[in-house]
Amino acid sequence: MASVTDLLKEMTKQYGQGVVNDSVTVPEVERAPTGILPFDLATGGGFPLGRISIVFGPESSLKTSIVLKAIGVFQKTNPDRKCVFVDIEASYTPEWGAKLGVDNDKLIYILPQYAEQAVDIVEGFLYAEDVGLVIIDSIAAMITANELDSSADKAVVGGSALVVGKLYRKSVMAISTGIREGRLPTLVCINQIRYKIGSYGDPETMPGGKAFQFASALTVRMYGKDEFDKKVHGTLPCWKSCSGILKKWKVPVTSKTFKFDLSILAETGFDIGTTNDWNTLSTYLKDLGYLVKGDKPGQWFLFEEEYKTLGPIKKRLLEDIEFDSMVRSIVIDSVLKGSSYDGDPEIDKETGEILS
């Protein structure tokens, strides 16, 4: 009678490397950060790579903007991998994407004609060897060829749900294949909300059926409202105040809720599309013992590196994307691991991970 070890060897030989494994060979889930610290901190680092995620909510709750922020960071930190934006709603604005950090010259932009076409396109890109993030905006806008060809008075029941179910199955298999090949193709689906009529419990639901809700490793429900400051502008909102709730997670997270403000007017003193994360970041750095005040007036130490004031630290974080990403990942890793400061940490300069 064969042992488990013998079976593992035989099945690996028969089915190929990566199909049959023991659990210790499964790597920890990597993340695609958004650069919005409250979101990244709550979710344990951002959108999980090699997984499916859902961002949903009402209109103007920054669903698309959060994903575009993630694309911008991913493009900078993974220049050899492509991001794909499947614009089913036909609403992408390159100018706004650029303000959120997206390099439009490197973004693969898809404008499908109908749902079945979108499914085939998404599947194809998930199998591509150099794909990074694939974004669908949005599931709610998917319309089948049959519904598109039918007159408005003809009822088409369950058409989009069937196609979305097919997208779910094809995406899961494509991502699974990518993981076995050592890639981490990632699908992020943006969706809207609808309301059930005459039901008990949570009245909210999402278009497209239940399939993706089961497949999702991270599901985030967004809320947003405009914030006005008449000292800055008499009629236009200055900030978009957003909060979110993690409805589901299959990856380590640190909080079920988060909140942030995103600048939508340059007159606020912050670039459009940016968030003021310094207070949150510095608080965690101090609490963890990474940012320490020195004995001299204005003197500070970040990871035991001396700065005369906090100003140069803020400037470096703002201008050096790699350093900023490293610091943020250290804070998030420390919170996840519940670690505290006991000397200058050994840091992998390429990944920003704490080695000891």
User: In which band, very low, low, confident or very high, does the pLDDT at 350 lie, cut at 50, 70 and 90?
Assistant: very low
Does the pLDDT value for residue 354 go beyond 60? no
Q: Of 11-15, 232-236, 238-242, give the range with the top mean pLDDT.
A: 238-242
User: In which band, very low, low, confident or very high, does the pLDDT at 295 lie, cut at 50, 70 and 90?
Assistant: very high
Does the pLDDT value for residue 189 go beyond 90? yes
Compute the mean pLDDT over every residue in the chain, rounded to the nearest whole number: 88
pLDDT of residue 148: 78
Bridging pattern class, strands 218-227 and 52-56: parallel
CA atoms of 329 and 67, how far apart (whole Å)? 18
Does the pLDDT value for residue 331 go beyond 80? yes
pLDDT of residue 44: 95
Does the pLDDT value for residue 346 go beyond 70? no
**Coil, strand or helix: which one is 225?**
strand
With residue 243 as reference, give the H or E element that holds it: strand 239-249
Given a contact cutoff of 8 angstroms between Cβ atoms, the answer to whether 294 and 306 are in contact is yes
| Mean pLDDT of all residues in 138-144 | 91
Given a contact cutoff of 8 angstroms between Cβ atoms, the answer to whether 184 and 65 are in contact is no
pLDDT of residue 153: 64
pLDDT digits (tens, 9 = 90+) for 68-102: 999 999 999 999 999 999 999 999 999 999 999 99
User: In which band, very low, low, confident or very high, does the pLDDT at 20 lie, cut at 50, 70 and 90?
Assistant: confident
Of 144-153, 185-194, 206-215, 341-350, the poorest mean pLDDT is in 341-350
Of 45-54, 108-117, 204-213, 307-316, the poorest mean pLDDT is in 204-213
Does the pLDDT value for residue 344 go beyond 50? no
CA atoms of 306 and 312, how far apart (whole Å)? 10
pLDDT of residue 341: 41
Q: Can you name the residues that pair with 84 across neighbouring β-strands?
A: 108, 134
The phi, psi pair for 211, rounded to 5°, reads -55, -50
Both tokens of residue 67?
A: 């994903």
Q: Which residue has the higher pLDDT, 169 or 201?
A: 169
Cα 131 to Cα 84, 128, 354, distances in angstroms:
8, 6, 27
Q: Which are the contacts of 1, defined by CB distance < 8 A and separation ≥ 6?
A: none
CB neighbours (10 Å) of residue 355? 8
Of 42-46, 70-74, 318-322, the poorest mean pLDDT is in 318-322
User: In which band, very low, low, confident or very high, does the pLDDT at 343 lie, cut at 50, 70 and 90?
Assistant: very low
Does the pLDDT value for residue 209 go beyond 60? yes
User: In which band, very low, low, confident or very high, does the pLDDT at 321 lie, cut at 50, 70 and 90?
Assistant: confident
Both tokens of residue 171?
A: 């995406």
Of 132-141, 291-300, 338-347, the poorest mean pLDDT is in 338-347
Q: 27-268: which CATH number, 3.30.1490.20, 3.30.750.24, 3.40.50.300, 3.40.50.410?
A: 3.40.50.300
Q: Can you name the residues that pair with 224 across neighbouring β-strands?
A: 242
| Mean pLDDT of all residues in 333-355 | 55
Given a contact cutoff of 8 angstroms between Cβ atoms, the answer to whether 340 and 354 are in contact is no
Of 148-162, 217-231, 290-304, 323-337, the poorest mean pLDDT is in 148-162
Which candidate, 287, 229, 220, places its Cα nearest to that of 261? 229
Given a contact cutoff of 8 angstroms between Cβ atoms, the answer to whether 188 and 49 are in contact is no
Cα 188 to Cα 86, 105, 206, distances in angstroms:
10, 21, 15
Identity (one letter) of the amino acid at 318?
A: L
pLDDT of residue 352: 39
pLDDT of residue 349: 40
Q: Where are the domains of the chain?
A: 27-268, 278-337
With pLDDT > 90 as the criterion, what percentage of the chain qualifies? 65
Helices (DSSP H) in 16-114: which residue ranges? 37-42, 63-77, 94-99
pTM of the model: 0.86
**Coil, strand or helix: which one is 113?**
coil
